[in-house]
């Protein structure tokens, strides 16, 4: 994840967000920088990088948080390693502590269901495509930056097998993003 990706995330949420006042139930449009790091592949598959966006809903008085969104992560050229392009749509539900609208550090845990489309590109070889369902478990921190801004950083495990390709899509997804309140 690069500084350029982080600055793009801030600019996009600033342009698309509305105004709201902190307190009670809020919805945030969050734009993320995303990295998918395959595990269990013996170093044969490269990392995938991209962006994502989600609508995150939370209430300062409740312990539940929910998000709906997606991301894309494109396989990076890394010698002779296999590259994977992943397009994800997910719904997550989780828990967080009750907090006040000014809290700068709010830990959270979520689980979710993913719909995935994947293309596996083998250098100087074949290309395989498939779609599947996956599961994810995530942990992270988020916090308020003033009345209308939110930051978020998370680490999640994504598990899925893509039928027809035999590819195990298990990996760690790292995301860092900024959001702006779009409703209260």
The domain ranges of the chain are: 3-63+76-166+176-183
Domain 3-63+76-166+176-183 bears CATH identifier 1.10.287: no
Of 49, 45, 24, 25, which is closest to residue 36 (Cα–Cα)?
A: 49
> Which pLDDT score is estimated for 37?
95
DSSP state of 76: P
> Which pLDDT score is estimated for 164?
66
3-class SS of residue 94: strand
> Which pLDDT score is estimated for 166?
62
> Which pLDDT score is estimated for 78?
93
pTM higher than 0.85: no
> Which pLDDT score is estimated for 43?
83
Ranges in the chain, pLDDT < 70? 1-24, 164-167
> From start to end of the chain, where are the E strands?
25-38, 48-59, 64-75, 83-95, 106-121, 127-145, 149-159, 161-162, 167-168, 171-183
């Amino acid at each position: 994840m690069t500084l350029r990706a982080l600055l793009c995330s801030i600019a996009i949420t600033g342009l698309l967000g509305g105004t709201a006042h902190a307190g009670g139930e809020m919805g945030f449009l969050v734009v993320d920088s995303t990295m998918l790091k395959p595990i269990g592949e013996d170093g044969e598959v490269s990392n995938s990088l991209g962006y994502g966006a989600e609508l995150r809903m939370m209430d300062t008085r409740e312990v539940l948080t929910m998000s709906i969104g997606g991301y894309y992560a494109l396989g990076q050229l890394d010698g002779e390693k296999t590259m994977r392009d992943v397009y994800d749509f997910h719904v997550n539900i989780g828990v967080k502590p009750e907090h006040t609208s000014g809290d700068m550090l709010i830990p959270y845990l979520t689980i979710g269901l993913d719909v995935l489309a994947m293309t596996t590109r083998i250098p100087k070889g074949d290309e395989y495509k498939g779609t599947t369902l996956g599961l994810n478990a995530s942990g992270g921190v988020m916090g308020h930056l003033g009345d209308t801004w939110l930051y978020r950083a998370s680490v999640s495990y994504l598990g899925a097998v893509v039928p027809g390709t035999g590819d195990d899509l298990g990996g760690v997804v790292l995301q860092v993003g900024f959001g702006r309140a779009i409703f209260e």
